[in-house]
Amino acid sequence: MKLTLAELAIATDGVLQGDEKTAVEGVSFDSRTVQPGDLFVALVGENDGHNFIQMALDKGARAVLAEEGHVLPEDAPAVVVPDSLAGLQQLSQYYLNEVGPKVVAITGSNGKTTTKDMVAAILSTKYKTFKTPANFNNEIGLPVTILSMPEDTDVLVLEMGMDRPGQLTALSTLAKPDIAVITMIGEAHLEFFKTRANIAKAKLEITAGLKDGGLFLIPADEPLLTEATNLPANTKNFGPVPADIEESLAETVWTEKGQRFAIPMLGRYNVKNTEAAIMVGQALGLDLKTMASALAHFDLTKNRTERLTAQNGAQLISDVYNANPTATKEVLRALSQDGAANLVLVLGDMLELGEEGPALHAALADAVLATKPKQVDLVGPIMVDSLLPALKKAAPDLNVKGYQADELDRLSADLKDGLKKDDLVFLKASHGIHLEKVVASLTEGWKNHA
């Protein structure tokens, strides 16, 4: 991105302060991550970004996008707008129109990040491709992603998150995708949406900005989507998943249309994500052989069924960014199919499930026991109050322990004390439980363990 203050003012209908020829080459809304040449966007939230403008300028920010009613340093190059978040979004739409890439938008209760990574890997074999970094998938992260793409980008792959009605309408309208994908409808956000049908309705908002004739991809086995009314004319289904799939901890392998596919991750549930990515690739002119080669080594975003090694040599599978009952059961089923020996399960609360949460947690008991674990550690009040007693009742001799969410240090210490070199530790929870701290302790902090 390279935009002058004059262009910023035009894009946002803002008031310019300073030299209109001043050019910015990046964007940041966090003063701690500002790079020289950035535009610092002063957002009003829990921490008012206007309080950190001078810090951002001292770190090399070249200009500021600020909101009316705030005092700015007199010498600060700036564009002032009525609402800085709206201004950021307007600016991103301006830049998106300037670059003009094909846009692929991906949402879903689970699998959207993995699918995003797969799509980007496939498309980058033919096109200059840029994808959403980490979890920049909301009303702030999405415009920052757009503004971060290089000027020569051919295809922009955007992940879109959702936690309330109307959010995907806004994101889709901003991005105007050429292709939109829903990976699945799960139980995430039941606390707010009450039913899966309401979740499906909100996910369908991703079509709000879909270009005329744009491709809309949905899973063939989800009637809440396939039977929905007013679907775009160019709607296609991906799946069903092939029956003959070989699963292991290292990879998942299958053949379709004469082409062998192998993805470097656990679970047949990820084959469905791959099917969606393949259909995106086909729509943009990629052949099966090229896509299979790209998928064999694609880069997976951190903490999504990520394979790691603890400092004592034990193997870890970190899947600690997100969790819902459907996805958790799927990955536990994959572990049971693999017959993983010396399995230690670390499962944290699945959040935002509302009043159904306790029953949905307890219902994991059969899937947990099917993995034949040597040890189960449960983290968070719902797991401890719901799944722990269910496991104790079904398998009284099982080594199962409970920890509260503020006891991660104790959990890490206990794991280090008991973990053997030939153990496999699988960790999964909603991000709010922060099991990534346990992963970091096992992979980076072992030397500090007395």
How far is the CA of 448 from the CAs of 30, 311, 414, 440, 442, in angstroms?
Answer: 31, 11, 14, 12, 10
For 61, the 3-state DSSP assignment is coil
* pLDDT of 341: 78
Q: Is position 109 annotated in a ligand binding site?
A: yes
* pLDDT of 450: 38
Q: Is position 113 annotated in a ligand binding site?
A: yes
Write out residues in the chain with pLDDT < 50, as ranges.
448-450
Domain 100-295 fold: UDP-N-acetylmuramoyl-L-alanine:D-glutamate ligase (3.40.1190)
C-beta separation of 345 from 375 below 8 A: yes
* pLDDT of 339: 67
Q: Which helix (H) or strand (E) holds 10?
A: helix 5-12
- Architecture category of domain 3-82 in CATH: 3-Layer(aba) Sandwich (3.40)
pTM for the full predicted model: 0.89
- Architecture category of domain 306-448 in CATH: Alpha-Beta Complex (3.90)
Q: Is position 289 annotated in a ligand binding site?
A: no
Q: Is position 443 annotated in a ligand binding site?
A: no
Q: Annotate 187-213 with DSSP letters as a single string.
A: STTHHHH-SHHHHHHHHGGGGTTPPTT
- Cα-to-chain-centroid distance, residue 343: 26
Q: Is position 235 annotated in a ligand binding site?
A: no
Q: Is position 441 annotated in a ligand binding site?
A: no
Q: Is position 230 annotated in a ligand binding site?
A: no
Contacts of 195 (CB under 8 A, 6+ apart): none
- With both helix axes pointing from N to C terminus, report the angle between 84-99 and 167-175 in degrees, rounded to the nearest 10: 40
Q: Annotate 270-288 with DSSP letters as a single string.
A: HHHHHHHHHHHHHHTT--H
Domain ranges in the chain are: 3-82, 100-295, 306-448
